[in-house]
Structure 1
Amino acid sequence: MPEEVLFESESRMDGAEIASVLRNVANKLDDGDPVTFAAGEESVTVDPPASPTFEIKVERETGSGPDETSFELEVEWSESDGSDAEGDVRVE
């Protein structure tokens, strides 16, 4: 299935700034409110269902340059149905 990027932003931030962004998203999800992502003149608002799928991925990229480690947090849902997710994930 083709992918359409609706919004993308990448910037260097310290841990406290990243935590603030994640906290704002978490608060919106907790309240059941739509989430708006904005950078410069670009913005997109999404309205996740009550029980979307939540994916955590940790990767290490190796190759010609220095190794790079990253983690990704993904919240995903079908626009045609509010599919319920399964599982219990903790951040420790």
Structure 2
Amino acid sequence: MPETVLFKSESVRSREEIAEYLHSVADSLAAGGEVTLSSATESVAIDPPERAEFEVKVEREGHPDNPEKSIELEIEWHEGAEGDADGDLRIE
């Protein structure tokens, strides 16, 4: 089945602004219930299950003389199902 993008936002932000946004998402996740993501033109509410798959990926891509690095944080679950993800993930 093809992927359907429900929400996308891309902008240049300071490290502090990015951290504030991630804190807001984390607080919403910790509180349980729906998490609402909004931009100037769109909004989506999601309701992740109590347990879900969490992926962290750091990539380097592009031309070797000017590579681009990225950090991707992904939470994935099947709608209507509880996840059973395990793993040892730490931020140091």
Provide the residue aligned with 2:17 in structure 1.
17
Equivalent runs, 1:32-51 vs 2, <5 Å? 32-51=32-51
Provide the residue aligned with 1:60 in structure 2.
60
Deviations 1:58-82 (A, max 9, x none): 0000228721001100011000311
Cα separation, 1, equivalents of 2:65 and 2:46: 36
RMSD (Å), alpha carbons: 1.4
Consecutive unaligned residues of structure 2, counting only runs of 5 or more, are none
The one-letter amino acid of 1:83's match is G
1:29 and 2:29 equivalent? yes
Cα separation, 1, equivalents of 2:73 and 2:89: 12
Deviations 1:17-47 (A, max 9, x none): 0000000010111111311111113000000
Equivalent runs, 1:63-82 vs 2, <5 Å? 63=63, 66-82=66-82
Change (3 A) 1:65 1:33: farther
Aligned-pair identity in percent equals 50
* Residues matched between the structures, number: 92
Q: Which runs of 4+ in 1 moved over 2 A?
A: 62-65
Consecutive unaligned residues of structure 1, counting only runs of 5 or more, are none
